[in-house]
Amino acid sequence: MIVLVIALLLALFLLPNLWAKWVLARHARGRDEYPGTGGELADHLIRRLGLEGVRVEMTDQGDHYDPEARRVRLSRENHEGRSLTAVTVAAHEVGHAIQHQQGYAPLLARSRLVAVAQKAEKVGALLMMAAPFLFVLTRLPGGLAIVVAAAVISFGTAALVHLVTLPVEFDASFQRALPLLKEYLPPRDLAGARHVLTACAFTYVAASLASILNLGRWLVILRR
């Protein structure tokens, strides 16, 4: 029974991430008929939409929009790639810049929560480093409650941020990016673009599940 539960939990964690990677890779083939790269499309959309102060940069830290620096950051393959994945991911990240310009409340809330989550994750790292001491502390009166509370705050906050992120991601994908892509992509590519946009959101599903699994693992360890 325990083995089955573990297998199901691993499947819940791995499948969304594997599916997202498969979709992104499936549509990453170069398309010579596309007029520009992902970076060029992002630049064009920023100028066309009048997103003042927003710039496009290449990064090795994953595709994302930085609201503090007002930067659309794209991985090399998406910045320089001329593929369905490249242009769709670029439009998705520009979608976040549109949200920012329009004062989209969930995006602003997520930005505040991210700062909290980063601190909480540091607490989680300290918990792991201090594991031997924690095992002694849990045998003291009230010690277990303190450690469990710290673990819940650390990993629970990270999971909450990822869950809050989901509606922000879907809005950037389907309310902002997709209407723009319909003007640039041939109709036959729109189904693939929808899959890529969904995959962008599912990376956060996997991250949320990972945080929940970390929390569950700590709770199991501390109960021993």
In the chain, where the domains are located: 1-223
Query: Can you list the alpha helix ranges (DSSP code H) found in the chain?
Result: 2-26, 38-49, 76-80, 84-101, 105-129, 131-137, 143-170, 178-181, 190-223
DSSP 3-state of 195: helix
Confirm whether pTM is higher than 0.75: yes
**In this predicted structure, which of 69-78, 125-134, 135-144, 206-215 has the lowest mean pLDDT?**
135-144
Dist CA 220 CA 41 (whole Å): 48
Question: What pLDDT shows up at residue 69?
Answer: 96
Short-list 165, 130, 180, CA closest to 150: 130
Q: Which residues are catalytic?
A: 93
Q: So what's the pLDDT on residue 70?
A: 97
User: Residue 202: pLDDT band by 50, 70, 90 thresholds?
Assistant: confident
Mean pLDDT lowest among 39-48, 133-142, 186-195? 133-142
Which of 138, 98, 166, 155 is closest to 222 using CA atoms? 138
Q: What pLDDT sits at residue 132?
A: 59
Higher-scoring residue by pLDDT: 126, 69? 69
Residues in Cβ contact with 135 at an 8 Å cutoff, skipping those fewer than 6 apart: none
pLDDT tens-place string over residues 141-186? 555 566 666 666 666 777 777 777 888 999 999 999 999 999 999 9
